[in-house]
Amino acid sequence: MKVRVVSTKDKNLAESQHAGGRLQDIIRRNRSSEALGLYAVCSAHPQVIAASAREAHENGSVLHVESTSSQVNQFGGYTGQNPEQFAGFVRSVAWDAGLSDDQVLRGGDHLGPFPWRSESASVAMDKACALVRACVLAGYQKIHLDASMACADDPKPGLDERAVADRAAVLCETAENAFRELAPNSPPLLYVVGTEVPAPGGESSSEQSISVTAAGRVQCTLDAFKRAFDKHRLEDAWERVIGLVVQPGVEFGESNVFDYDRRKTKALSVALPASPQLVYEAHSTDYQLASSLKQMVEDHFAILKVGPELTFAFREAVFALSAIEHEMLQGKAARVSNVRETLDTAMLRNPSYWRDYYHGDENQLRASRSYSYSDRCRYYWHEPEVNAEIELLIENLTAFSPVLTLVSQYLPLEYEAIRAGTLHASPSEMIRHHIRAVLHKYATACGETL
């Protein structure tokens, strides 16, 4: 791959484009063998979004944020937000970080019937279409059309490629119709398709390995989607398909991470067609090594999705600050926070988000609820009582500045930054700094850091 050299001309050109145009430029350059990519922040957590906006501003790059169909939908999702509310929130955070609208790319991840898969296909698809319409009207520009999950009345063991593609085309048609209601000159919609789509959240069972998509499947899958798009008279939309989801052999589960092995994807890397000009979108890249992420971008997995690793980093920072608080303030503050206990109580009260993912005896389950790579505790941070404890934690460590020796013990990355004078020793800043360490790994792999 060529080494990226950013000229003033390149930088000015990028800044003159809307975010979707910048992504398309990155794709063109990646297909021309430049080591460029873009990572997508698949999270709705406020601290993650704030950290991501700061990272994008510092790098002069695109803030690419995507909400999943489970996080945000017309019924509120598990965050309690609909697409319009989430889009407004992201816009507000971006503005606060100094980003313009043209530097923000909002996307929908796994937009399809997944949240309603326990219902009949007709009902689930009606709800999926309503979600897609709501996302487009809210200003989402990048749409992942995901109809890969079977619904309650679908045949077993699941849908064939033709059925998945046809349902995706129905969703695309809904999106295109909604787009016509937007203001003239709105940035065009961009699409991601695929049939070998990892489950939302990246959770896997205890397999010993993950099968890589066969290179021969690439053209077959694209042909199936092309036929479906043509059937629905979506020829123009087909030219705006910029990503194909495949399985590059990366995944994570309760306590394991499957690392990228480029030897297994060599054939896949050269299987992309000339038209439409697209790249692979890699899901579940969380916890990959920095060197692996760089190799993935070089191998045309140019859109990297990350989510749970970011809230995992948030949890690490919050738990560390809680330990610092307890060491410092027992008997000093009116009350020390009980973040960990309150979080676990919330998870035990409503086990629906983790019960099917964690296994073992009670000690193992307790450890997984807090520390698992699957990070199922991310579904509970929005609970009012958990938020109240985090607010108390931040209030206490703002009133009583953290002792640096304790910061060194529990947050060594932040300790080094504080000592170097690049980080203020406030709890909120330390949390965002910890999240940004993950983001910086992705930004570097994508060639965003200068």
Residue 218 has pLDDT above 60, yes or no: yes
In a domain, 440, yes or no: no
Asked if 299 and 322 sit in the same domain, the reply is no
In a domain, 249, yes or no: yes
Residue 5 has pLDDT above 50, yes or no: no
**Interatomic CA distance for residues 207 and 213, integer angstroms:** 16
Residue 30 has pLDDT above 60, yes or no: yes
The last residue of one of the domains, among 306, 333, 364, is 306
Asked if 119 and 248 sit in the same domain, the reply is yes
What is the residue-wise DSSP string for 52-87?
Answer: HHHHHHHHT--EEEEEETTTB-TT-TTTTB-HHHHH
- Of 389 and 330, more confident: 389
In a domain, 3, yes or no: no
Q: What is the pLDDT of residue 276?
A: 87
Asked if 298 and 332 sit in the same domain, the reply is no
Asked if 78 and 142 sit in the same domain, the reply is yes
In a domain, 131, yes or no: yes
Average pLDDT, the chain: 94
Confidence of residue 203 (pLDDT cuts 50, 70, 90): low
In a domain, 268, yes or no: yes
Q: What is the pLDDT of residue 192?
A: 98
Confidence of residue 16 (pLDDT cuts 50, 70, 90): very low
The packing angle between helices 308-329 and 339-349, to 10°, is 130
In a domain, 450, yes or no: no
Residue 11 has pLDDT above 50, yes or no: no
DSSP 8-state symbol, 265: G
Asked if 300 and 330 sit in the same domain, the reply is no
CATH number at residue 187: 3.20.20.70
Q: What is the pLDDT of residue 208?
A: 67
CATH number at residue 385: 1.10.400.20
**Interatomic CA distance for residues 437 and 441, integer angstroms:** 7
Question: Residues 326-347: what's their mean pLDDT?
Answer: 94
Confidence of residue 198 (pLDDT cuts 50, 70, 90): confident
Asked if 296 and 379 sit in the same domain, the reply is no
- pTM for the full predicted model: 0.94
Domain of 322 in residue numbering reads as 311-434
In a domain, 47, yes or no: yes
In a domain, 448, yes or no: no
Q: What angle do CA 400, 405, 407 make, to 5 degrees?
A: 65
Number of domains in the chain: 2
Question: Residues 17-30: what's their mean pLDDT?
Answer: 95
Q: How many Cβ atoms sit within 10 Å of the Cβ of residue 336? A: 19
* Residues 267 and 244: beta-carbon distance below 8 Å: no
Q: Which of 76-90, 171-185, 206-220, 249-263 is least confident? A: 206-220
Asked if 152 and 236 sit in the same domain, the reply is yes
Residues 6+ apart with CB under 8 A from 28: 277
Q: What is the pLDDT of residue 450?
A: 62
**Listed residue (247, 349, 250, 257) closest to 312, CA to CA:** 257
